[in-house]
Structures are given as structure tokens and as C-alpha cells.
Amino acid sequence: MKFSQGVKMSLTSLFSNRMRSFLTMLGIIIGITSVIVMVAIGQGSAKQVTDAIQRMGTNMLTVNITSSSSTRLTEEEISQLKNEPSIASLAPQVSGNATVKNGVNNDSASIIGTTPDYESVRDVHAAYGRFITQDDIDNRYKLCDVGIEVLQNIFPDIQAENYESLIGKNIMVNGTPVMIVGILESKGTSTAGSNDNQLIMPLSSAKKLLKNTTISTYFVEAASSTSVDAATYTLNQLLLSKYNNDSTQFRVLSQSEMISARNETANTLTLMLAGIAAISLVVGGIGIMNIMLVSVVERTREIGVRKAIGAKRRDILLQFLIEAVFLSCTGGIVGVILGVFICVLLPNITSVAVQMQPQIMMLAFTFSAGVGIVFGFYPAGKASRLSPIDALRYE
């Protein structure tokens, strides 16, 4: 028998049982669709995180101090580090949450106490007014640069284009009046939360306001992307000598390290989602095997007739195998189309980020074809081994 004849034969029998064929395919369709959508969601959220980290600048290093001791970088050490050729600038940060109030309107915002270097290190700028200065720190002035989300919450009546008029106004932060000196440019939202729901204050006054004098984070800007490693080395050397060679007391993280750490988490997530989806694909394959087994029993006489008039084992095997593979491949194609459709639709109706991956689609489709072969082989083999005499006698 020619292969094309086998295909024709199989299609005839599948089309004469349309409803059953469709229901059998449904398992594979759902499996493939969920693989594609799940992986796209996993990769989409990974990309969101990576993008957020990259937006902070590739030259940035983060120094996290985990030590419980009160030892921190001194003023001299900070200015000494700033003079290092590999380091462009360095900004310490104290942070905490506070209630921000204007009259009856209030908002819970994050307070960042820092130095003027923060502006270049984190790439945050004042859209109106000015950024905090060294003078503000030295004099412990209670003033701030404020993010627009805070303004939206506490000045709901004022339009965004009139925010400039708010400069010079006092707002209450944890019950203390603080003067607005600048309005921050919008930075958008990342997975870590809103970047616009924050106040930036001089380090000295923020420490007092938050009743928190320990600096847990330093942001360091390397001179260029090629001097990141040198800056990391310098920081590590200094911190090691400060903390008696105990490297568990602090951590110096470059952007690439942060990205790879986040990616690892995202990949685990993707793998888990793909795993769940793959299980549904296998279940779909078992569905195909089940229906094919029923079909073989149902068509015992047909198999007997075909064998009597000259079908070889291979011909019968091929006929049933093609049926199974056709079911799973068509299911695969429909599943890919449906998956792409959902991936296109999803960001439009929800806030879920998706990233489609052509390799995953190819892989999912190939897998579905494989499922057809693997799960079709047993029923097809069973059909091909039937004895023509017994099969013809079957009622």
C-alpha cells in the first residue's frame, strides 16, 4: 500500500466519526494551548523583571549590608570610594514607610533618605523644582522630592500639569511638616511596586523622621560598564576589611547578577508551569490511545476483511497509526493557533505580561506529534496483529 493511500483511508474513517475525532483532539488542544500560554506568561513575567532591573542602568551595583552590628561606611570611606577611578558615585539609602498627609487626604508612601548622588546613581530626576542638596543634609532641612503617585493621592483636585504650583507647600510626613522642593519624573511600575509612590529626603532628616539610623543599602554607580568588575572588587576588599573578613555580613550585587538571580527564579516558574501543561498533554495522549483502542475493537471485522483481501500487518499498523498521529497533529496545530490567540488577547484584557516563544510552539507541536506516535502505536500494533480468521468471525 502506498503511504498516500494510507492517509486517505485514515482520513475517511476520522471524518466519518467527526464528533469523536474532535473530542479526542480536545485533550491535545487543551494541552498544547496551556503549554504555550503558561510558558508565555512565565517568560513574560521574567522579562518584566529583567526590564525593570535593566532600567536601573547596567553600571549600577547594590551593596546590601546584612550585618547586625552598627558598623557602616564612614564619611571618609565614602569620599575615598568616590575617588576610586572605577566608581563614579555612591549613594547610601535609609528607607521605610510613612503616612503622608495633606489635610484629610493621606497616602502610605515609601521614604528614601539619601544624598544628592542618588540622582545620578539611580537616574531619578526632578521634573519640576530641584533635587535634594548636600546643604539640605548638613542643615537637616525637612524637605523632599515627591513622586507623582503620592501627589495624585493627597492632592486629588490638582491636575498633573499644575503640579509645579505645589513646590514650596508643606505636607505632613508621620506628623512632621515637610516642604516639597521638587516633583520627581515618573518612573512607572515594576514588580517591586510603584516607583512613583515615594518621597526622597535628605539622609539626615529621613533618619530622624523614620527613627532609623542604620543604612542597609548603598547604591554604587561604576564609571562605565567595563569597570563594574573593578568596582565590585574594590567594594568587596573594603567591606571585607571592615567586617573582619566575614563575607556573610554584606553582599555586593551587580545588575547582571541580579538579573541572573531573577532569571533563575523565573525559569523555575516557567519550568513548573510547562511541567503542569505537559502533564495535560500526556493525559490528552492517553485519551487518544483510549479512543484508538475502542476503535480497534469496534472495527475488528473491518480489519479482518482488509487482511483477508491482502492487507499486510504494516498496512493495518500504518492506517491506525496515521489516524492517531493525524488526531494529535491537528490537535497540536489547533492548540498552537488557540495559544497564540490567547497570548495576543491576554495583555489586552488583563495586566498579565506575556512573551511568546516560537521555539516553545515548535517544541509543543513536535511533542504532540510524538504523543500521537507513542500512544497510537499500541492500539495500531494490536490491530495489526489480529488474526484474519478471528477478526472475520467477530460479531
Partner 1 sequence: MPIIEISNLFKTYQLGGNTVHALDDVTMQVDDNEFVAIVGPSGSGKSTLMNIVGCLDISTAGSYKLLDREISSYNDNELAEFRNKTIGFIFQRFNLLNRLTAIDNVELPLIYQGISTSERRERAVEALKAVGLEDRMHHRPMELSGGQQQRVAIARALITKPSLILADEPTGNLDSHTGEEVLDILRNLHHSGNTIMLITHDMRIAHIAKRILTIHDGRIKEYKEGEQ
Q: Which residues contribute to the site for partner 1 (CB under 8 A)?
A: 1-2, 5, 9, 12-13, 16, 301-302, 304-315, 388-389, 392
b or e along 40-62 (b: 16 or more beta carbons within 10 Å of the residue's beta carbon)?
bbbbbbbebbbebbeebbebbbb
Note whether 87 and 230 are within 8 A (CB).
no
- Cell 523555575 appears where? 268
**Closer Cβ to partner 1, 125 or 314, answer by number:** 314
**Closer Cβ to partner 1, 4 or 245, answer by number:** 4
For residue 43, the one-letter residue type is Q
* Least CB distance to partner 1 at residue 2 (A): 5
**Closer Cβ to partner 1, 262 or 299, answer by number:** 299
Task: State the Cα–Cα distance between residues 9 and 11, nearest whole angstrom.
Answer: 6
**Closer Cβ to partner 1, 223 or 392, answer by number:** 392
* Least CB distance to partner 1 at residue 5 (A): 5
**Closer Cβ to partner 1, 294 or 344, answer by number:** 294
* Least CB distance to partner 1 at residue 327 (A): 17
- 368 φ, ψ (degrees, to nearest 5): -65, -40
Task: State the Cα–Cα distance between residues 380 and 385, nearest whole angstrom.
Answer: 9
* Least CB distance to partner 1 at residue 1 (A): 5
Instruction: Write out the three cell numbers for 59.
Output: 553600571
For residue 178, the one-letter residue type is V
Of the candidates 226, 322, 255, the one whose C-alpha atom is nearest the C-alpha of residue 3 is 322
* Least CB distance to partner 1 at residue 312 (A): 4
**Closer Cβ to partner 1, 6 or 285, answer by number:** 6
* Least CB distance to partner 1 at residue 301 (A): 7
**Closer Cβ to partner 1, 192 or 309, answer by number:** 309
* Least CB distance to partner 1 at residue 10 (A): 12
User: Is residue 120 exposed (0-12), middle (13-18) or buried (19+ Cβ within 10 Å)?
Assistant: middle
Q: Please give the full DSSP string across 245-294, using - where no structure is assigned.
A: T-GGGEEEEEHHHHHHHHHHHHHHHHHHHHHHHHHHHHHHHHHHHHHHHH
Instruction: Write out the three cell numbers for 394.
Output: 467477530
**Closer Cβ to partner 1, 221 or 323, answer by number:** 323
**Number of C-alpha atoms within 13 angstroms, CB side, residue 289?**
16
Q: Say whether 213 sits in a helix, a strand or coil.
A: coil
Task: State the Cα–Cα distance between residues 125 and 20, nearest whole angstrom.
Answer: 64
* Least CB distance to partner 1 at residue 352 (A): 46
User: Is residue 249 exposed (0-12), middle (13-18) or buried (19+ Cβ within 10 Å)?
Assistant: middle
